[in-house]
Chain A
Amino acid sequence: GIQVEQSPPDLILQEGANSTLRCNFSDSVNNLQWFHQNPWGQLINLFYIPSGTKQNGRLSATTVATERYSLLYISSSQTTDSGVYFCAVDDYKLSFGAGTTVTVRA
């Protein structure tokens, strides 16, 4: 199956800082999704982004399908951004990366 690698595994930010999370995948995919899992376990859809760039408030994502990677940008981070960020690629089923644990300190 497709291998999905996320980096960095952990990220500690001061409130207000910007950051970039990366997702590399090993083969062509039909789709890619970014999720935020909050401390209660809820998995929130952030982006459905097979290619190109999308923005939603302080978050934006870019997928370069030909080079098999995607980036998630968090700007002006807030403590509520803390949690685990997963990317998942769609090859007839979703394969998840190991996640990036983000901690935003006030």
Chain B
Amino acid sequence: GAVVSQHPSWVICKSGTSVKIECRSLDFQATTMFWYRQFPKQSLMLMATSNEGSKATYEQGVEKDKFLINHASLTLSTLTVTSAHPEDSSFYICSASGGEGTLGQPQHFGDGTRLSIL
């Protein structure tokens, strides 16, 4: 149980294009979803938290106009990297939790998306 599916697994695209990444909870309702970014040989850094039906909460230093997050249903959240540039290249990972925020609820992670901007 508690499976989170993330697509695509990897993306290579030209500078200036927008890229959408999907995160789905397959067998549970995800009240809250999280998006993380991981640079090579570094830890995961939380970018934003999204609750179904409301606006995402972004961490300090994360541009909300650059990284658009939509959590339209209890099983799907999307991250769109707008007008991507080489510095946006990274490993993006989503997670989902079935509870309010994360209090008392484990987070379940997708397999990640490797984004390379040429």
Which residues of A are in contact with B by a Cβ distance under 8 Å?
Answer: 30-31, 33, 35, 40-43, 45, 48, 86, 88, 90, 92-99
Contact = CB atoms under 8 A, between A and B. Distances in A.
Contacts of A90: 102-103
B102 A42 contact: no
Given A33-B107, A92-B101, A97 B49 contact: no
Interface of B: 34, 38, 42-46, 49, 91, 93, 95, 101-109, 111-112, 114
Given A41-B93, A97-B43, 13 more contacts: A30-B103, A40-B111, A41-B111, A41-B112, A41-B114, A42-B111, A42-B112, A43-B44, A88-B44, A92-B102, A93-B101, A94-B34, A94-B102
Nearest to A38: B111
- Residue picked from A48, A93, A97, most chain B C-beta under 10 Å: A93
Contacts, number: 54
Contact of B44 (A42, A48, A92, A96): A96
Given A30-B103, A33-B107, A43 B43 contact: no
B101 A45 contact: no
